[in-house]
Structure 1
Amino acid sequence: MDEIAAGLAKAVELILALDPVVVEITARSLAIAITSTAIAAAIAVPIGGLIHFHNFFGKRAVINLIQTLYSLPTVTVGLVVFLLLSRSGPFGSLGLLFTPAGMVVGQTVLITPIMIGLTIAALSGVGPAVRDTALSLGASRYQAILTIMGEAKAAMMAAVLLGFGRALSEVGVAMMIGGNIRGHTRVLTTAIALETSRGEIELSMALGIILVSISLLVNLLVNRAQGNWWA
């Protein structure tokens, strides 16, 4: 117990002192996760809207497939993206393997199905009365769709948040695509795994505290935004 307390105290000291290694890894993790989330949102929200607002043969099967991909193991995604980006793969000439850009690609592939499915769920949660009311007031079909999306904005923000959390906390894609290269592709999750295996418990705990703190901060900011800006 004393060792844990000592490690925790040292971890807090590293954070407060803005240890260069801690700052570098944290900044890289945030940059990759934010970029991945932004790209995934730009893909997922339109696709989720198209699926929800259009009826077509096999729609239920498509939604079931998307929901199945929620639990897709990160190492499986990492393997697929690794094969695509490797030198012998179709995109090997881009030189993205073992780079932050490659990690962004992998994390985007990982979280996009989650965000598509949650976007569909968010839009489905808006009652038909909203659409009917908008149309009865003279709104066009496009305006009615915007009205429904406006009603679902809080749930859609939650979908983006969940995608960000998944991107920030995953380790399989980051390890397989990034390679955990010091000063280049090392992020919070891969650094925690490495430093723990090396016995650097204080640094691991510091990075773990930062990881949890970021997740908590994002949740608090989104909840505050939903309460104040969208009231």
Structure 2
Amino acid sequence: MELIWQGTKQAVLLLIHGDPEVLRIMLLSLQISGTATLLSLLIGIPSGTILALSRFPGRGIAISLVNTGMGLPPVVVGLFVSIFLWRSGPLGFLELLYTPSAMVLAQMVIAAPVVTGLTVAAIQQLNPRLRMQLMGLGASRLQVVWLLLKEARLPLVAALMAGFGAVISEIGASMMVGGNIHRQTRVLTTATVLETSRGNFDMAIALSLLLMLLTFGVNVTLTWIQQRGRTP
């Protein structure tokens, strides 16, 4: 208990004094995971909408692959992204390995199936008659899709929270493609592992608490947006 108390005290002191290194790590964590989540939304929402509304051969297999991707181990994602970005890999010429961009790419691969799968579920849970009514009223295909997404906005915000939660807390992929380089690719999760390996448990606990505080703050904001959009 004393160790936990010391870690909590250390976290409060780091926040009060505004430690530049810790603030840098927190901002980089938010920047990388936020960018990855945004990119996963740009991929996942259109893909999920197509899977939910379209009928084509292999659709069931595609949805099964998406659902499988929702449980992809981060270390597996990190391994394959590393292979692709390695000097002799297909994307080695980009020289992205051990950079924040590589971490964004890996986290996007983790978050995209989560957003896609939850988007499919959000669209499919709508009343099938709604789509028919919209088409009967003369709405174009794009208008129908927009109105369906608007109707499903609450579960879509939940998909956003799930995608962000999946990447802000992951460690395996970030460590493998980012390398945990000081002042370059070190984020809260990798810094916590480093401090633990050094035996600095109070600092590791402090960083863990800051990670939870950051995640809580983002989710409080998204929850407020979600609940604000509810129909009374």
TM-score by length of 1: 0.95
User: Residue 29 of structure 1 corresponds to which residue in structure 2?
Assistant: 29
Within the alignment, does 1:199 sit opposite 2:165 as a pair?
A: no
User: Residue 136 of structure 1 corresponds to which residue in structure 2?
Assistant: 136
User: Residue 125 of structure 1 corresponds to which residue in structure 2?
Assistant: 125
Distance between the aligned counterparts of 2:140 and 2:2, measured in 1?
67
Q: Which moved more, 1:81-90 or 1:206-215?
A: 206-215
Please state how far the C-alpha of 1:180 moved relative to its aligned partner: 0.3
Please state how far the C-alpha of 1:226 moved relative to its aligned partner: 2.0
CA RMSD of aligned residues (A): 1.4
Which aligned pairs between 1:209-224 and structure 2 lie closer than 5 A?
209-224=209-224
* Structure 1 unaligned blocks of 5 or more: none
User: Residue 8 of structure 1 corresponds to which residue in structure 2?
Assistant: 8
TM-score by length of 2: 0.94
Contact 2:84 2:92 in 1 (8 A): yes
User: Residue 147 of structure 1 corresponds to which residue in structure 2?
Assistant: 147
C-alpha deviations, 1:74-104, integer Å up to 9, x for none?
1111000000000010111111000001111
* Structure 2 unaligned blocks of 5 or more: none
C-alpha deviations, 1:104-163, integer Å up to 9, x for none?
111111211111111111111111122122223332333222211111111111112211
**SS of the counterpart of 2:70?**
helix
Within the alignment, does 1:156 sit opposite 2:156 as a pair?
A: yes
Contact 1:15 1:206 in 2 (8 A): no
Please state how far the C-alpha of 1:6 moved relative to its aligned partner: 2.4
Instruction: Spell out structure 1 runs of 4+ moving beyond 3 A.
Output: none
**SS of the counterpart of 1:71?**
coil
Distance between the aligned counterparts of 1:62 and 1:128, measured in 2?
21
Distance between the aligned counterparts of 1:60 and 1:201, measured in 2?
47
Contact 1:14 1:203 in 2 (8 A): no
Please state how far the C-alpha of 1:230 moved relative to its aligned partner: 5.4
Aligned residues: 231
Distance between the aligned counterparts of 1:216 and 1:98, measured in 2?
28
Q: Which moved more, 1:33-42 or 1:131-140?
A: 131-140
Go from structure 1 to structure 2 and tell me whether the alpha carbon gap of 1:143 and 1:199 turns closer, same or farther (over 3 Å shift). Answer: same
Contact 1:74 1:110 in 2 (8 A): yes
Distance between the aligned counterparts of 2:105 and 2:12, measured in 1?
33
User: Residue 101 of structure 2 corresponds to which residue in structure 1?
Assistant: 101
